[in-house]
């Protein structure tokens, strides 16, 4: 900015953007503002005396004649609509879901709250009711009375417990640590919870005394692939090897030991315990039949994952031993000995209905030679995922190949494999996610935005729709703004690629920008503050998107690939230019250059879909919501006589 005999400019040579000037006569540079926290932004002058700029959300003017800075007080009347509490539906914002142990109710996480919803009868329950915290990762306890979840209500992530009916207050179960938590899972006996943190460490929490022990450490990112044994005495965990493949390991509660289970020569993942405690099933990429590129001599791995099982003891029967038809020999039953007269028939022993499945099954493991007792489940190798085991069956997904630029034409489907019959069948087509009940009898399936409950059996049975229409939260925007700000700050603290945050004091930066929260009146304000805070790190690929902007619906307009111009002499629009396209590609097509379309530059457009187009109209008003076939009435002359219709 050139004012008089000085050049004024903004520089961060002192570490903070401040206003400086350079005297053209003496070449002397002088610092004019001395802020150590807030940058001088968007400086602009009137080229005579005043320079105006923004600093930490406030406007100030600098008088170049007196070298004085003055804050500008601006009062803007505002109804505060974007800060008013309101009740908003959240069925479109479901992040996670689970099932009650026997599938009577569904568990949802949406917009930072935890809900349960009935499958058929009843009403949903919001169990956490908090705009100030982000509650997530919910999991239903095996006995059904409690729900565990992760919440930052204390300012940091902790594991919390809440009654499944919402009675009483939620209670934290872990100490406050500076780490984001993930993958909360109950042990089947309900005594422990496993979860991981941002450093890839796996922890086990004992509910009774709230003690936590670290059981595994993933060196290559987050650790989210693990499963409890049926008795709750062991954890099967996927861990990376130094060769960039992964193996399964088993951690045991009894001795706190971690032992390798599968070979490091093959990628193994998605562990699933046999409910009888005899096998540990898993997925493994062991078939290399690459797909050849049609463009160049190159290949891509595809459809190479199979299902395997490791026998946990030497005496376990091979599920897929060779079969043979043999003759059954009829044996004549011997008559039962006569009972003395007056004796009663002894009662048959009845199973103890009060015992839980986890208490009846004790998973015994012989670790010696474990990796040598691997069998393959007779399922064709494919793009398999999300393996789980229930009584007599395996569940898994089959997906299409992944592409750059387009989705696979093959929808992900949920398969069920009958271990006795050695047969696979499709349980549900087009699956975006699923959750199996603890007893293995039901599965909650997500297809797009629709949830359904299905019986876990080869034919599946009828899909029961699960309504999410009544899920809603009492939104308090001011509290949400603070929660979003704090979580963004923590995520950068936890996941920035270097721990020293590029040498900046991240806590001080957060404290500085947190002062602006009372002035945030709209989500766009919040995004601006977040962007300014993140920009302090001087790092690329840092983006902000989303939020409730309370904007009116934007009108959709059909674009014909042409420019219109008004001929004022006749009061009609004509085509000034037609944009070329590549009509063999749908997304690059230019409608007016399609084969058979008789339109040229200079033609007058007299009507669009029968509506006359005059000088007082905007052509694009008549093209609103036109995404399909559009008919133009055109002519070389600005009259309807002799006009032709093109579509």
Output the six-digit token pair for 430.
């087009």
Gap between the Cα atoms of 375 and 366, Å rounded: 16
Number of neighbouring beta carbons within 10 Å of residue 630: 15
Per-residue pLDDT tens for 218-246?
989 999 999 999 999 999 999 999 999 99
Q: Which pLDDT tens digit goes with each residue over 611-621?
A: 999 998 999 99
Where does the pLDDT of residue 344 fall: very low under 50, low under 70, confident under 90, or very high at 90 and above? low
Cross-strand pairs, 446: 433, 451
Judged by DSSP in three states, 92 sits in helix
Q: Are 40 and 53 in contact (CB under 8 A)?
A: yes
Counting Cα atoms < 13 Å in the Cβ hemisphere of 1 gives: 22
Beta bridge partners of 594: none
Q: Residue 133 in contact with residue 153, Cβ under 8 Å?
A: yes
Q: In what order do the strands lie in the sheet with 257-260?
A: 226-228, 234-240, 246-252, 257-260
Q: Domains in the chain, ordered, with CATH?
A: 2-72 (no CATH), 85-220+468-475 (2.120.10.30), 225-292+301-318+357-437 (2.130.10.10), 476-535 (3.30.750.44), 562-646 (2.30.42.10)
In this model, does residue 359 exceed pLDDT 80?
no
Closest CA to 395 of 344, 434, 438, 446: 434
H or E stretch at 389: strand 384-390
Cα angle 177-180-184, degrees, rounded to a multiple of 5: 100
The Cα–Cα gap between 395 and 425 comes to 10
Query: Which of the pair, 279 or 293, is modelled with greater confidence?
Result: 279
564: left (phi over 0), alpha (psi -120 to 50) or beta: beta
Q: Give the 3-state DSSP-derived string for 171-191, with helices as H, strands as E and coil as C.
A: EECCCCCCCCEEEEEECCCCC
Query: How much is the pLDDT for 326?
Result: 80
321: which residues sit within 8 A by CB, 6+ positions away? none
Work out the mean pLDDT of the chain and round it to a whole number: 92
Q: What's residue 360's pLDDT?
A: 58
pLDDT at 472: 96
Name the band, by pLDDT with cuts 50, 70 and 90, for residue 15.
confident
Structure token pair of residue 468 = 């999410």
Would you state the structure tokens that stand for residue 285, as one six-digit string?
């990429």
**CA–CA distances in Å: residue 254 to residues 49, 355, 457, 578, 607:** 79, 22, 35, 76, 82
Q: Looking at residue 353, what is its pLDDT? A: 44
Give the model's confidence band at 624: pLDDT under 50 very low, under 70 low, under 90 confident, else very high: very high
pLDDT in tens, 384-426: 999 999 999 999 999 998 887 778 888 999 999 999 999 999 9
Mean pLDDT, range 369-379, rounded to an integer: 95
For 25-145, list the strands marked E by DSSP. 29-31, 41-45, 50-55, 58-63, 68-72, 86-89, 94-99, 105-110, 113-118, 125-126, 135-140
Determine the average pLDDT of the residues in 141-147: 96
DSSP β-bridge partners for residue 527: none
CA distance 42 to 1: 12
Provide the 8-state DSSP code for 249.
E
Say what the alpha-carbon torsion angle 603, 606, 610, 612 is, to the nearest 10 degrees: 160
C-alpha–C-alpha distance, residues 431 and 115, integer Å? 22
What's the rounded mean pLDDT across residues 302-327?
92
Short-list 475, 480, 477, CA closest to 132: 480
Least Cα distance to 114 among 170, 155, 157, 154 occurs for 170
506-514 and 523-535 are packed helices; what angle lies between their axes, rounded to 10 degrees?
150
In the chain, what is the greatest distance between 2 CA atoms, to the nearest angstrom?
Answer: 131
pLDDT at 347: 54
CB 307, CB 387: distance < 8 Å? yes
Are 7 and 21 contacting, i.e. CB atoms less than 8 angstroms apart? Answer: yes
Q: Which two tokens stand for residue 514?
A: 């947190």
pLDDT reading at 483 higher than 50: yes
Segment 489-531, tens digit of pLDDT: 999 999 999 999 999 999 999 999 999 999 999 999 999 999 9
Return the CA Rg of the chain. Answer: 34
Phi, psi of 559 (to 5 degrees): -115, 120
**Which tokens go with 11?**
């520089």
The model's pLDDT over 32-86, given as tens digits with 9 standing for 90+, comes to 999 988 899 999 999 999 999 999 889 999 999 999 999 999 988 888 889 999 9
The token duo for 517 is 């929260």
Burial class of residue 54, CB neighbours in 10 A (0-12, 13-18, 19+): middle
The answer to whether 584 and 606 have CB atoms below 8 angstroms apart is: no
Q: Give, for 514, the enclosing helix (H) or strand (E).
A: helix 506-514
Q: Tens digits of per-residue pLDDT, 561-608?
A: 999 999 999 999 999 999 998 988 888 889 999 998 999 999 999 999
CB 594 within 8 A of CB 583: yes
User: pLDDT tens digits, residue range 48-63?
Assistant: 999 999 998 899 999 9
Distance CA 508, CA 295 (A): 53
């Amino acid at each position: 900015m050139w004012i008089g005999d000085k050049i004024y400019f903004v520089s961060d040579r002192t570490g903070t953007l401040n206003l400086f000037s350079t005297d053209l006569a003496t070449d002397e540079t002088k610092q004019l503002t001395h802020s150590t926290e807030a940058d001088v932004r968007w400086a602009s002058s009137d080229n005579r005396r005043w320079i105006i700029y923004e600093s930490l959300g406030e406007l100030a003017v600098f008088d170049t004649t007196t070298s004085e800075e003055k804050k500008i007080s601006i009062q803007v009347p505002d109804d505060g609509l974007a800060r008013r509490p309101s009740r908003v539906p959240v069925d479109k914002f479901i992040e996670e879901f689970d099932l009650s142990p026997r599938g009577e109710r569904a568990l949802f996480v949406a917009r930072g709250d935890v809900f349960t919803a009935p499958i058929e009868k009843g009403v949903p329950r919001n169990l956490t009711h908090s705009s100030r915290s982000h509650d997530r990762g919910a999991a239903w306890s095996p006995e059904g009375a409690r729900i565990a979840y992760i919440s930052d209500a204390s300012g940091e992530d902790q594991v919390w417990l809440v009654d499944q009916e919402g009675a009483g207050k939620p209670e934290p179960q872990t100490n406050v640590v500076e780490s984001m938590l993930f993958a909360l899972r109950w042990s089947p006996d309900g005594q422990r919870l496993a979860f991981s943190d941002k450093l890839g460490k796996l922890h086990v929490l004992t509910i009774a005394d709230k003690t936590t022990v670290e059981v595994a450490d993933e060196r290559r990112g987050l650790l989210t692939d693990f499963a409890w044994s049926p008795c709750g005495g062991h954890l099967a965990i996927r861990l990376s090897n130094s060769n960039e493949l992964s193996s399964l390991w088993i951690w045991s509660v009894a001795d706190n030991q971690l032992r390798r289970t599968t070979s490091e020569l093959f990628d193994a993942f998605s562990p699933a315990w046999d409910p009888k405690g005899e096998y540990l099933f898993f997925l493994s990429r062991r078939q290399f039949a690459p797909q050849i590129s049609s463009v160049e001599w190159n290949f891509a791995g595809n459809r190479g994952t199979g299902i395997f099982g490791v026998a946990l003891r030497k005496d376990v029967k091979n599920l897929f031993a060779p079969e043979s038809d043999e003759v059954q020999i009829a044996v004549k039953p011997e008559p039962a000995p006569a009972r003395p007269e007056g004796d009663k028939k002894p009662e048959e022993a009845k199973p103890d209905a009060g015992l839980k499945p986890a208490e009846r099954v004790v998973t015994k493991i012989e670790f010696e030679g474990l990796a040598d007792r691997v069998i393959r489940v007779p399922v064709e190798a494919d793009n398999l995922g999300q393996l789980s085991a229930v009584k007599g069956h395996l569940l898994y997904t089959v997906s299409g190949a992944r592409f750059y630029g387009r989705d696979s034409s093959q929808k992900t489907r949920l398969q069920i494999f009958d271990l006795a019959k050695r047969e696979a069948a499709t349980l549900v087509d087009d699956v975006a996610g699923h959750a199996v009940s603890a007893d293995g009898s039901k599965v909650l399936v997500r297809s797009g935005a629709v949830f359904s409950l299905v019986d876990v059996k080869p034919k599946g049975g009828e899909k029961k729709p699960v309504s999410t229409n009544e899920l809603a939260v009492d939104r308090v925007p001011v509290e949400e703004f603070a929660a979003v700000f704090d979580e963004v700050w923590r995520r950068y603290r936890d996941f920035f690629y270097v721990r020293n945050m590029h040498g900046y004091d991240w806590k001080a930066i957060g404290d500085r920008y947190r002062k602006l929260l009372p002035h945030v009146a709209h989500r766009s304000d919040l995004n601006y503050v977040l962007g300014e805070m993140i920009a302090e790190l001087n790092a690329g690929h840092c983006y902000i998107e989303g939020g409730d902007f309370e904007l009116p619906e934007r009108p959709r307009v059909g674009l014909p690939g042409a420019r219109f111009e008004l001929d004022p002499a006749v009061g009609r629009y004509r085509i000034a230019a037609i944009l070329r396209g590549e009509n063999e590609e749908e997304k690059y097509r230019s409608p007016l250059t399609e084969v058979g379309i008789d339109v040229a530059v200079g033609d007058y457009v007299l009507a669009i879909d029968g509506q006359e187009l005059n000088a007082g109209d905007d052509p694009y008003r008549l093209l609103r919501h036109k995404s399909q076939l559009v008919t133009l009435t055109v002519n070389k002359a600005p009259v309807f006589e002799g006009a032709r219709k093109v579509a």
